[in-house]
């Protein structure tokens, strides 16, 4: 009984803390069709986004201090990212699209990502 209660509380806590963009994504262009939505962080594997983590091939960013963008279905985050070597900081905006999300980074670099099904 105690194990069942613990599992139930864990599921409820996860649902309460889930973010608006949580999920697995792949590029939203024809080359993304061959990406494996089950593998995370590998070449040709999915990109994972949770309420506080953006985990892509070769890098991982912790998302902090999310601020809703007025008039848009988007959030601007402070991100602390790490790949090989020292961590770096950047601003990242994540916005819902018809097929998934758009990730906008410094220098107007935009990544269109389709939600894995």
Tens-place pLDDT, residues 94-107: 999 999 999 998 87
Residue 66 lies in a domain: yes
Q: Is residue 24 part of a domain?
A: yes
What letter does residue 54 receive in the DSSP assignment?
Answer: E
> Per the domain annotation, does 27 fall within a domain?
yes
Residue 94 forms beta bridges with which residues? 75, 103
Report the SS3 class of residue 24.
strand
Give domain status of residue 5, yes or no. Answer: no
Domain that holds residue 35: 19-115
- Indicate whether 4 belongs to any domain: no
pTM over 0.85: no
DSSP string, 68-98: EPTTSSEEEEEEEEESSSS-EEEEEEEEE-S
Q: How far apart are CA 75 and CA 1, in angstroms?
A: 40
Q: In whole angstroms, what is the distance from residue 93 CA to residue 65 CA?
A: 12
In a domain, 32, yes or no: yes
| 39-91 pLDDT tens trace | 887 888 899 999 899 988 888 999 999 999 999 999 999 999 988 878 989 99
Within-domain flag for 1:
no
What domain count does the chain have?
A: 1
């Amino acid at each position: 009984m105690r194990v069942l209660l613990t599992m139930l509380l864990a599921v409820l806590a996860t649902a309460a803390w889930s973010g608006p963009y949580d999920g697995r994504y792949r590029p939203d262009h024809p080359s993304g069709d061959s990406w494996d939505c089950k593998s995370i962080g590998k070449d040709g594997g999915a990109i994972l986004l949770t309420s506080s983590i953006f985990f892509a091939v070769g890098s991982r960013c912790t998302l902090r201090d999310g601020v809703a963008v007025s008039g848009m279905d988007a959030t601007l985050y402070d991100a602390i990212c790490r790949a090989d070597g020292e961590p770096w900081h950047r601003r990242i905006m994540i916005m819902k699209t018809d097929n998934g999300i758009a990730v906008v980074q410094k220098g107007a670099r935009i990544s269109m990502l389709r939600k894995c099904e």
